[in-house]
Structure 1
Amino acid sequence: MSVLIIAIILGIVEGLAEFLPISSTGHLILAGHLLHFEGEKAATFEIFIQLGSIMAVAVLYWRRFLNLLGWRREKTMAPRLNLLHVILAMLPAVILGLLLHSFIKEKLFSPYTVLISLVVGGIFMIVAEKSRVPVRAETVDDITYKQAFSIGLFQCLALWPGFSRSGATIAGGLLVGTSLKAAAEFTFIVAVPIMVAATGLDLVKSLPYLSVNDIGFFATGFFTAFIVAMLAVVTFLRILKKINLTPFAYYRFVVAAIFWFFVLR
């Protein structure tokens, strides 16, 4: 198979899965296994295309990010989500991720651990959906500092590849009293700085595996992920008005079952 076709396929997988509660890392590991595209170069490529997905959110929410940085705030603007909310939500996963980085890379990046994580994460999403916690934050601007930090604690679950960062944080948001839409938007916003930090760290460590000959391959994956992620985020926010997390949980179960019975057995 052409390397450019592989780049497009994985870019589509990354763009679709990064901000849906189905785990982009888990899907990339499983897709890479099917395409026989594994190893250090594959890992570096996956890191690079994640940046494409991140840029999609940065473009979609550029006004929000300028507000967070204090560059576009209007004088009449009511109290809104601010940088401290984002920092509180990032802190737990950043600290734990730095402490467990080597363990996670060595022990949890395999198809077997991903399948388990897909199932466990799906169960967690269903439990959160059925919890019926009273909503105290209808919009992202209603989220309190305590809720932001609590969502950050749930985000630590996503350090296990396959659990899904968006799945963990959206479900966590429901458990601490945010609406589904508020939890999803907060997830997207927090994703940008934490993923830039995580992918930046991984890219620095992966520089020895990059070469000039890979520019076309990496660029194809990057722009594919960027475009698909932009469409996925907009579509996801629209369908959340009609459905909840449960269908995504069932999807995770089906993927895990199919991959287990037809690929790994």
Structure 2
Amino acid sequence: MNEHIIALLLGIVEGVTEFLPISSTGHMILVGSLLGFEGEKANTFEVIIQLGSMLSILVLYWKRYLSLLNFSSIGKPEKKLDAIHIILGVVPAAIVGLLLHDFIKNQLFSPKVVVVSLVAGAILMIFAEKKHGKFTSNTVDELSYKQAFTIGLFQCLAVIPGFSRAGSTISGGLLVGANHKTAAEFSFLVALPIMVGATGLDFMKSLHFLDTSDIPMFAIGFITAFVVAMCVAVLFLKILGKIGLTVFAYYRIVLAAVFIVFVLL
């Protein structure tokens, strides 16, 4: 298959799955395997298009990120999301990711781990839907520092390939009293710094695999992932409160079965 078509298809897959609680890593491994696009070049390509998805969040929430630079609002009695919330939501996973980066890349990036993580993440999501109590935070501005930190702890699960950063953080958000939209929005906001850091580190380690002849392919994937991710993020926020996480959990279980059939067998 033409590599430009492969770039387009994978860009769509990345854009659709990055912010949904269904594991973008799992989908990229599965689709890459089916397309025969694997190896170091494929890994570098995935890093590039992930940055495209992340850019979409910066575009959607640039005003919110800009407001975080107003440190004078920190500690004020009125409720307002500030930089401390984001730091608390990012630091736990950042520390775990830095400490275990090489182990994760060398030992955990395997189809077997992805299958187990898809099912484990699905169980967490179903549990969160059934066990969450009354919602006490209906906007991100109503989140407490304690809630932000707890969601950050749940984000640590996302360092395991296939678990899904969105799935773990949104589940954590529900369990600490955030409604679906609030949990999803906070998940998006803490995704940018953590993913830019992670993909930036991977990008620096992958520079020697890049070649000028790859630029058109990488550009197609990057732009496609950016556009699709932006559309999916907006739509996801509109429908999540109505459909909940359970439907995505069942999808993950089906995906795990597909993984076993097409990748492991």
> TM-score normalised to the size of structure 1?
0.95
Asked if the contact 2:111–2:263 (Cα under 8 Å) also holds between the matched residues in 1, the reply is no
| 2:21 corresponds to | 21
Residue 82 (1) aligns with residue 72 (2)? no
Asked if the contact 2:30–2:263 (Cα under 8 Å) also holds between the matched residues in 1, the reply is no
Instruction: Report the CA distance between 1:176 and its aligned residue.
Output: 1.1
Residue 243 (1) aligns with residue 243 (2)? yes
Instruction: Report the CA distance between 1:132 and its aligned residue.
Output: 2.8
| 1:30 corresponds to | 30
| 1:253 corresponds to | 253
Q: Distance in 1 between matches of 2:5 and 2:262?
A: 23
Letter in structure 1 aligned against 2:45: F
| 2:60 corresponds to | 60
1:133-156 CA distances to partner (integer Å, 9 max, x unpaired)?
222211111011011010000000
Asked if the contact 1:96–1:156 (Cα under 8 Å) also holds between the matched residues in 2, the reply is yes
| 2:93 corresponds to | 93
Asked if the contact 1:29–1:109 (Cα under 8 Å) also holds between the matched residues in 2, the reply is no
Gaps of 5+ in 1: none
| 2:159 corresponds to | 159
Instruction: Report the CA distance between 1:115 and its aligned residue.
Output: 1.2
Letter in structure 2 aligned against 1:200: G
Asked if the contact 2:33–2:263 (Cα under 8 Å) also holds between the matched residues in 1, the reply is no
| 2:203 corresponds to | 203
Q: Which runs of 4 or more aligned residues in structure 1 lie more than 6 Å from their structure 2 counterparts after TM superposition?
A: none
Residue 144 (1) aligns with residue 106 (2)? no
| 2:42 corresponds to | 42
1:84-111 CA distances to partner (integer Å, 9 max, x unpaired)?
1001111110111111111110111112
Name the stretch that deviates more: 103-112 or 8-17.
103-112
| 1:234 corresponds to | 234
Name the stretch that deviates more: 25-34 or 218-227.
25-34
Q: Give the SS at the match of 1:69.
A: coil
Instruction: Report the CA distance between 1:262 and its aligned residue.
Output: 4.1
Q: Give the SS at the match of 1:134.
A: coil
| 1:194 corresponds to | 194
Q: Distance in 2 between matches of 1:96 and 1:19?
A: 21
Asked if the contact 1:89–1:148 (Cα under 8 Å) also holds between the matched residues in 2, the reply is yes
How many residues of Structure 1 are paired with residues of Structure 2 in the alignment? 261
| 1:70 corresponds to | 70
Asked if the contact 2:122–2:253 (Cα under 8 Å) also holds between the matched residues in 1, the reply is yes
Q: Give the SS at the match of 1:241.
A: helix
Q: Distance in 1 between matches of 2:15 and 2:39?
A: 21
Letter in structure 2 aligned against 1:242: K
Q: Distance in 2 between matches of 1:21 and 1:232?
A: 12
Q: Distance in 2 between matches of 1:153 and 1:263?
A: 31
Instruction: Report the CA distance between 1:263 and its aligned residue.
Output: 4.1
Instruction: Report the CA distance between 1:242 and its aligned residue.
Output: 1.5
Q: Give the SS at the match of 2:241.
A: coil
1:191-234 CA distances to partner (integer Å, 9 max, x unpaired)?
11111111111101111101111110100000000000011001
Letter in structure 2 aligned against 1:13: V
Q: Distance in 2 between matches of 1:148 and 1:81?
A: 10
Q: Distance in 1 between matches of 2:238 and 2:134?
A: 22
Name the stretch that deviates more: 34-43 or 164-173.
34-43
Report the aligned-residue RMSD. 1.4
Residue 126 (1) aligns with residue 126 (2)? yes
> TM-score normalised to the size of structure 2?
0.95
Query: Percent identity between the aligned chains?
Result: 62
Letter in structure 2 aligned against 1:248: F
Residue 180 (1) aligns with residue 180 (2)? yes
Q: Give the SS at the match of 2:81.
A: coil
